[in-house]
Amino acid sequence: MVKVSVIIPTRNEEENIAALLSHFNYVSNDVHYETIVVDDSTDRTAERAHKAGAKVVIGRRLGLGQAITDGINASTGDIVVVMDADLSHRPTDVPRLLQPILTEGCDMTVGSRYVKGGSCLGWSLKRRIISRAACLLALPITSIRDATSGFFAFKKNILEGVTLKPSSWKIILEVLTKASPTKVVEVPITFDERASGKSKFSTKQMLAYIKHLLLLTIHKYTKIIKFFLIAGVVYLFVAGLIYFFTEALHWWYMLSVFVASCVGVVIRFMTEKAYVFGQKQDPNSPDYEWHSFYHGNPIQRCWKGAVAKTVWNFVPNASSLLNVGCGSSPVSSRYPNSTNVDINKGKLAFLKEKLPSITAECASAEELPFPNESFDCVLCIEVLEHLQKAERVIDEIARVLKSGGRCVLATPDYSRPLWYIAERFTPYREEHVTRFTRASLERACDKYGLSPIRHKYIAFCDLVEMFGK
């Protein structure tokens, strides 16, 4: 059972709070709700919330963002839901917000008015324009279409090591920017006009929002800012060295330029390594594949995304699917009932945390612990090149694959010259011990009754091929 903490900040909502809390006064087979009301009221909101069974936290009158932060700090749930108290957010939408987190490996979901199926009821044209403009202003820090939503849910553990310092009422921007959730889904909602009471929106809050955006933009692009600052300082230093060498030491100008440039390159490399690119992920870390897929450099994200999309296109669904050597790859997110095998227990545990509905087993690809013909489909993505006995793995895949089933294998094609360039940038290049070409892979598969059906190259050199048994 999952414990969900519902954070409800309030200010003079005595007319709405009891009706809202009544929706969470039950325990289902899957979810136990904990309601936390953070109250800044001058009326009887806190009293009514307490009678309705909520945990009441007395607010510090430091704004909506701080009230939500106080509620998060007081929560004990595995998942946190934040929503308004005025019934503009429908409590019946909470299970829809939780579903992608519980079953699809999402770190965060956002109740969105601006995706297909979402809407706002009873809004004036002026209010629509202001809301849309606020979302557009947030584009430099998030691609979420409804970045000003006050209705969202997230796994509480993404806040580990994160300090939230909201300077406006939109705490969602703090979570999106500082916690860096790897997978965020927008869930369409209908935003209703408040049931009763008055809106707290003001010009002062809008100015605070703009200030908050500027601070978060600086936070998000700190590395880029450091990069250009270091570059500028080093270039000025190099120019000074050139002047000193030529004017004070009377060196030949080209020699001055050469020596100063070499010194500048060394200083810049060491400084950027220490202050900009100092943290590199270990390929053996539990979250490596997942992090690379969602937060890697642009080339990583593009490459891994292209491989995953090709696999999903080849196998849109399967009643029983085995992913061999899955690591922490998000490929299995499209197959929530799949079985996943890897020898790295840490990666399996991480993947299981992200995708609770999958089956994860620690086992060697060379000795799969399953009976003959157990699966309709088997995936083996970017694994074969790491194994001395790659053909043994292909034999095992053929054994556990049902007659008429499909398997998808992905591995670099060493007959493609481009791969020798691409390989220099992969952290696993020293572990590539088996070097397939498309022809040699098809010959190896043919030995075990696997016939090629279709294939696709990623960047003209990374082969993804589907076989049938």
Confidence of residue 34 (pLDDT cuts 50, 70, 90): very high
Instruction: Write the CATH number for 455.
Output: 3.40.50.150
Domain stop point among 204, 219, 234: 219
Instruction: Write the CATH number for 60.
Output: 3.90.550.10
Q: Is residue 371 part of a domain?
A: yes
Q: Do residues 242 and 384 both lie within one domain?
A: no
State residue 208's pLDDT score: 80
Cα angle 260, 261, 263 (rounded to 5 degrees) comes to: 65
How many Å separate Cα 125 from the centre of its chain? 34
Domain stop point among 196, 219, 242: 219
Tell me whether strands 401-412 and 462-468 are parallel, antiparallel or unpaired.
antiparallel
Least confident of 183-197, 423-437, 450-464: 423-437
Domain stop point among 232, 254, 275: 275
For 420-445, give the DSSP string: HHHGGG-TTGGG------HHHHHHHH
Q: Is residue 99 part of a domain?
A: yes
State yes or no: pLDDT of 275 exceeds 70: no
State yes or no: pLDDT of 425 exceeds 80: no
State yes or no: pLDDT of 330 exceeds 70: yes
For 19-87, give the DSSP string: HHHGGG--B-SSEEEEEEEEE--SSSHHHHHHHTT-EEEE--SS-HHHHHHHHHHH---SEEEE--SSS
Q: Do residues 458 and 325 both lie within one domain?
A: yes
| Structure-block tokens of residue 362 | 């620690």
Least confident of 223-232, 347-356, 454-463: 223-232
State residue 306's pLDDT score: 95
Mean pLDDT of 231-242: 93
Least confident of 211-225, 309-323, 367-381: 211-225
Closest CA to 453 of 416, 419, 405, 382: 405
For the stretch 368-420, pLDDT in tens is: 999 999 999 999 999 999 888 899 999 999 999 999 999 999 999 999 998 88
Q: Is residue 11 part of a domain?
A: yes
State residue 30's pLDDT score: 79
Q: Is residue 280 part of a domain?
A: no
Question: Which domain covers residue 437, as residue numbers?
Answer: 288-468
| Structure-block tokens of residue 23 | 């929706």
Q: Do residues 45 and 174 both lie within one domain?
A: yes
Main-chain phi, psi angles of 111, to 5 degrees: -70, 110
| Structure-block tokens of residue 186 | 């927008």
State yes or no: pLDDT of 21 exceeds 70: yes
Q: Listing from the earlier edge strand, what are the strands of the sheet with 462-468?
A: 359-362, 339-342, 321-324, 375-381, 401-412, 462-468, 451-458
Rg value, the chain, Cα: 27
Q: How far apart (Å, rounded) are the C-alpha atoms in residues 51 and 171? A: 28
State yes or no: pLDDT of 280 exceeds 60: no
User: Can you list the pairs that 390-396 forms with residues at least 24 positions away whose Cβ atoms lie under 8 Å?
Assistant: 390/434, 390/436, 390/444, 391/444, 391/447, 392/366, 393/324, 393/365, 393/366, 394/444, 394/445, 394/447, 394/448, 394/450, 395/447, 395/448, 396/324, 396/365, 396/366, 396/367, 396/368
How many Å separate Cα 191 from the centre of its chain? 26
Which is it for the CA torsion 118, 120, 126, 131, positive or negative?
negative
Q: Is residue 282 part of a domain?
A: no
State yes or no: pLDDT of 200 exceeds 60: no
What DSSP element (H or E) covers 353? helix 345-354
Interior/surface letters 393-427, b for 16+ CB within 10 angstroms, e for the rest = bbbbbbbbbbeebbbbbbbbbbebeebeebbeebe
Q: Do residues 301 and 428 both lie within one domain?
A: yes
Least confident of 33-37, 65-69, 220-224, 250-254: 220-224
CB 4, CB 91: distance < 8 Å? no
- Count the domains in the chain: 3
Closest CA to 422 of 291, 276, 303, 248: 303
Q: How far apart (Å, rounded) are the C-alpha atoms in residues 85 and 6? A: 11
Q: Do residues 111 and 211 both lie within one domain?
A: yes
Q: What is the residue whose two structure tokens read 């310092």?
A: 165
Mean pLDDT of 170-175: 87
Q: Is residue 460 part of a domain?
A: yes
Q: How far apart (Å, rounded) are the C-alpha atoms in residues 129 and 112? A: 16
Instruction: Write the CB contacts of 138 (distance below 8 Å, at least 6 apart in sequence).
Output: 144, 147, 148, 173, 213
Q: What is the pTM of this model?
A: 0.65
Q: Do residues 209 and 232 both lie within one domain?
A: no
Q: How far apart (Å, rounded) are the C-alpha atoms in residues 53 and 35? A: 8
Mean pLDDT of 101-113: 91
State residue 291's pLDDT score: 86
Q: Do residues 424 and 441 both lie within one domain?
A: yes
Q: Do residues 208 and 241 both lie within one domain?
A: no
One-letter identity of residue 459: A
Output 29 or 250, whichever has higher pLDDT: 250
Confidence of residue 276 (pLDDT cuts 50, 70, 90): low
State residue 26's pLDDT score: 65
Q: Is residue 259 part of a domain?
A: yes
State yes or no: pLDDT of 195 exceeds 60: no
Q: Is residue 283 part of a domain?
A: no
Q: Do residues 330 and 356 both lie within one domain?
A: yes
For the stretch 35-65, pLDDT in tens is: 999 998 888 999 999 998 899 998 877 778 8
State yes or no: pLDDT of 279 exceeds 70: no
Q: Do residues 16 and 128 both lie within one domain?
A: yes
User: What SS3 class is residue 127?
Assistant: helix
One-letter identity of residue 237: F
Q: Do residues 214 and 227 both lie within one domain?
A: no
Q: Do residues 200 and 229 both lie within one domain?
A: no
